[in-house]
Structure 1
Amino acid sequence: MAASASTLFIDRRLVLCVGPGGVGKTTCSAALALQAATSGRKVVVVTIDPSRRLAQALGLDAGVSGELVPVLREPGMVLDALILDGAKVFDSIVRSCSSDAKTAQTILDSRIYQATAQRLSGALEFAAMARVQMLVDAGEHDLIILDTPPTANAVDFLEAPTRIRELIDNPGARLIAGGGRIGAKILGLGSSLLSKTLEAMGGGAFMGDLGAFLKEFSSVIEEFHSRGGDFERLLRSPATGVVMVTTASPFSAREAGAFLDQLGDYGLRVDAVVFNRTDTQLPPPPPRARFDAALAKLDARERERLWNAYAGARALGERTRRSIASIRDARPRLRIWTAPRHADPPDTLPELRALGRQIFEGAAS
């Protein structure tokens, strides 16, 4: 029997929706969340940058970024949504994990924090994982669905917290935090033009300000990690699954194959692949003579236009078939769901619910 989303994710606490930008990943994440909620689970979908119409469908607007918003409250159905705001997440981490309120405010007021915290490599990805960890710790939802940031490399997202941590753990950073200017040399700042420029911008006390910031901010990150536990362990645990969203173009199918290899190497459990915006697979046309005879009332140019249009539509359907087959043949045990191409993306709750049924209650390979 084909597996539906309600049974497939019954043992999952966290589902990562991954894939490149522009494939409808955010819409599919919302549809999956709504589908899971209709099966009786308390669900929250965390998204990064939904389209305005999708945000409206979920009851979100610019004024609630970073806050949990109730989307659906019906008997046995709970769905919340959250637009990730990297700045607000970092601020909440600072307030929650600082040694006291005064230290937290000192960090938040720091020009270095304001100028750099959101520009660190992997900062948005780290914020996403931090917010998910907070939701896990809160324990208010049965299922968390994370619409991951679009990335050219799936593992870039997964390794972002490590890159942030490596910055804080850098020996040069520790030496600066301890007040030693030799740390600046280790970081390449000691006698460089960059160091002089930064000091000119920030005044002669820049290096001292940098040291104080790193000392206080690193302690915040350390406390967050000690509270949050090992997030990588959660990612690799049976409580976490992955749904890959892609399209049926040859390039997207090849890219999806590479993503799946990376996710497998990283130790994640890939539950399914969703091929979004697929084209209908059409049967071969009748012989041309019979086609022309059936449409004899049309002039030759109109018959030619219809013949070519059908051939083009059939070619798109064949492309869909080949793309799906390329994933299925390489991974015969992997579930594959499809969603047909829509003229307009779903942007109301009824439309999202219909899309969820269409994808996640459909036949799996």
Structure 2
Amino acid sequence: MSAAFDYHLVLQSASKLDHALELVWSDGKTSTFHYLWLRDNCPTTLHPDTKERTFDLLSVSADIEPLSFSVDNDRLMIEWSEGDHHSQFSGEWLREHAYAGDLRPANKPRARSWDAQFLKDMGSASFNDLTTDDAALYSWMKQLDQDGIILVKDMPATEQALDDVAHRIDYQRQTNFGVTFEVRSEPNPINLAYTALALPLHTDLPNQETPPGYQFLHCLANDTQGGESVFADGLRVLEDMREQAPEHFELLATVAIPFRFHDETHDIQHHHPMINLDHQGNIVELKYNAHIASVFDLPEAVMHDYYLAYRDLMGRMRQAKYRMQYRLKAGEMVVFDNRRVLHGRTEFEPTGHRHLRGCYVDRTEFQSRLRVLARQHD
């Protein structure tokens, strides 16, 4: 049952509209359910084992309607005009899946945006708890889902430790950098991350058709001058831009630009808008990496204005109020939503020893694991 309502409530009555039934609950709230929706979601349409839909919607006409319907004991019963078929729905299930009227789902994203002051509130959990206790894992994942960034403490100094935490969620995402990758200064680097240079704030791999979701960075060593990690919440930056410069926000959310990574073995490129919104207008993704933004190929009419919006976003990311700086210590791991939280680092002395081991787990797998854990622990 959804936590969105109290199911001491019962379904009380139903009445017929054009193409739909209007249902009323004991608290006076109403919702409309269309005939085609009700027939398509009849409990008998699902395979008993796989729970996949087996019903062919085109096996009934667009004009299907109830021959009769009634409400009794918190259940809606329908006799359909076609196929000699009867449906029965619980009031609880209908209320949980209501899409109209007083019960239209609230447009409330779980994410909580933050600024530089968030450092003192950043959450954490121990390696041992995450790898042995599902309740601890669930609590940690819920906080990561909300804040977009979190720490793991007391990580063993082994290559396997990264995989042990990631696999508690699901499988890792393979990219052209491998399933796992080592972030340290290297000769002949293929990426600026593999140098000792400062890295401006960015998100990883916007050149991919779907950029990676959650990034894991396990600090194995950080015995050098410099090399502090820098983070900013892209959600907070974009919320402020949306309010203060809506014309710039609109351009970045609607106009796609090219991103490209290429070396001797790969040439991976894709066009994306920098900002993605969901179907309800919520900000759900930022794709920003000035180092691999390719040559802009925008229409003449928008090129100048787009550059103004792009510069606005760049400038906001450099404001101290958004930037959180944290020095990772050996035995710590930071995990963050790569499609929300920007990351970078300060320059470090290449003669010192700084070594992070990383991987990705995509959002789809993360959210799947979170929903399964919620069924067990909420």
TM-score (norm 2): 0.22
Greater share of residues in strand? 2
Greater share of residues in helix? 1
TM-score (norm 1): 0.23
